[in-house]
Amino acid sequence: MKIWVPSEAAADVLSDLPDVECVVYDGTGPVPGGVEEVEVWVPPLVTVPDVPGLLGRMPRLKLLQTVTAGVEPYRPHLPEGAVLCNARGVHDAGTAEWAVGAMIAVLREFPGFVRAQDRAEWTYHHTGVLADSTVLIVGYGSIGEALERRLDGFEVDVIRVARTARGNVHGQDELPELLPRADVVVLLVPATPATAGLVDADFLAAMKDGALLVNAARGGVVDTGALVAELEKGRITAALDVTDPEPLPRDHPLWTAPGVFVTPHVAGSTPASGRRTLRLLRSQLLRYLAGEPLKNMITGSY
């Protein structure tokens, strides 16, 4: 059985499995030979060029296992008979940790103090604070749960929102009533047709003055033009690990908009994520070889 994996580390963790041939393809350089024989493909973290064309050359593909929670580059082009699984859970810690760090960085004005340090200026003043805030988590899945665990102890109130209501989790249709209550709005929704442009001008207008928008989801969830307009007014602030477009062009107005903190899609790029990805890959391949049910199968809308 031929498996494409994204790294030597992934190949090493699968090297002792019986009748398995691992080929490393990290998306750079020429496509390896034997693409028509690939039965399992584990794409790299950064999407490879021409996904539709590549999948179209994989008639024997049975399992596509991503190393990301998002599957949007692959799902529309999956060959008939192939199963798609994501890496739900492996990036929870890193992404949740980034979200907490981003909130504190913006509210306590760390980027501004770093710039002042570069100028050797002592710019004493009061800042915002996370304590006593209401944090609205939009997209309350495994990462949302991990984020709430990390917020425990910061003395905040948490409002949970998912696509549909359940228990103590509100439905997405309740956002117009919930947004004005939030001091911090954290986006953790998957990229789907239903979430594309979810954060539009109306969404942003419903946020309270001085609120912070934190995007650890996907850039396309936010209408970039509408966000820039609100930032230029100085009415809200934002912390963005993802943008639309991405990478952000050097001349894009988001770079210089007031009150925005941008990181280059690094929330889940941590050693912890790497270790957990390798554990998932080995577990998943053992299940596949044994004919057992796979983890994280993508069915329905997501």
Q: Is 157 left (phi over 0), alpha (psi -120 to 50) or beta?
A: beta
Question: Which tokens sit at 159?
Answer: 């409002």
Residue 162, beta-bridge partner list: 171
What does the alpha-carbon distance between residue 165 and residue 127 come to, in Å, rounded to a whole number? 35
Q: What's the angle, vertex CA 83, arms to CA 82 and CA 86, rounded to 5?
A: 140
Distances (CA, A) of 93 to 97, 99, 269, 273: 6, 10, 10, 8
Which DSSP letter does residue 128 get?
Answer: -
Q: Is 148 a known active-site residue?
A: no
DSSP, residue by residue, 207-244:
SPTT-EEEE-S-GGGB-HHHHHHHHHHTS-EEEESS-S
Question: Which tokens sit at 134?
Answer: 């209401």
Residues 246, 252, 282, 287: which is the catalytic one?
Answer: 246
N-term to C-term CA, the chain: 28
Q: Is 91 a known active-site residue?
A: no
CB-neighbour burial class of residue 208 (10 A; exposed 0-12, middle 13-18, buried 19+): middle
Q: Is 246 a known active-site residue?
A: yes
Which DSSP letter does residue 294 get?
Answer: P
What does the alpha-carbon distance between residue 282 and residue 288 come to, in Å, rounded to a whole number? 10
Residues 88, 91, 160, 218: which is the catalytic one?
Answer: 218
Q: Tell me which residues are annotated as active site.
A: 218, 246, 265
